[in-house]
Amino acid sequence: MEQTTTPKQLRSFGCLMGGMCLLIALWPLVIHGRPGRWWALMLGAGLLVPALVMPRLLAPLYAGWMKLGAWMSWINTRLILSVGFFGLVTPIALVRRAFGKDSMRRRFNADLSTYRLARTERPGSHLYRQY
């Protein structure tokens, strides 16, 4: 299923990317008083002019950028989140298990007739200031 990109999307893409390139180009000049980055200025102008005049010229660049974004999201969801889970959550769980912590109270207890926890009723006044 292939989606068609609208001129509005392409114009928005070109203006955003061109504006970011212009920001990169002019940052040293405005903030530090150093010469600007002329390669970024040319790239920004090369993106802004087609975005404003004829956005369809940016369609191949937009498609490539979206493919790059899809590839980077694949890396993010699988690699970075896996490292975060197995590098942070798993060690914490193992340490808690080693110290006998059971926050969810999942241990089997043959002496109990039910695992239900009796709760005390709270007054309705706790709902007055919810946020």
Tell me the mean pLDDT in the region 57-85. Answer: 93
| Cα–Cα distance for residue pair 86/93, rounded to 1 Å | 10
pLDDT band at 122 (very low <50, low <70, confident <90, very high): confident
Name the pTM for this structure: 0.60
pLDDT band at 58 (very low <50, low <70, confident <90, very high): very high
Q: What is the pLDDT of residues 100-115, one digit of tens each?
A: 898 888 888 889 888 8
Structure tokens at 87: 């590098």
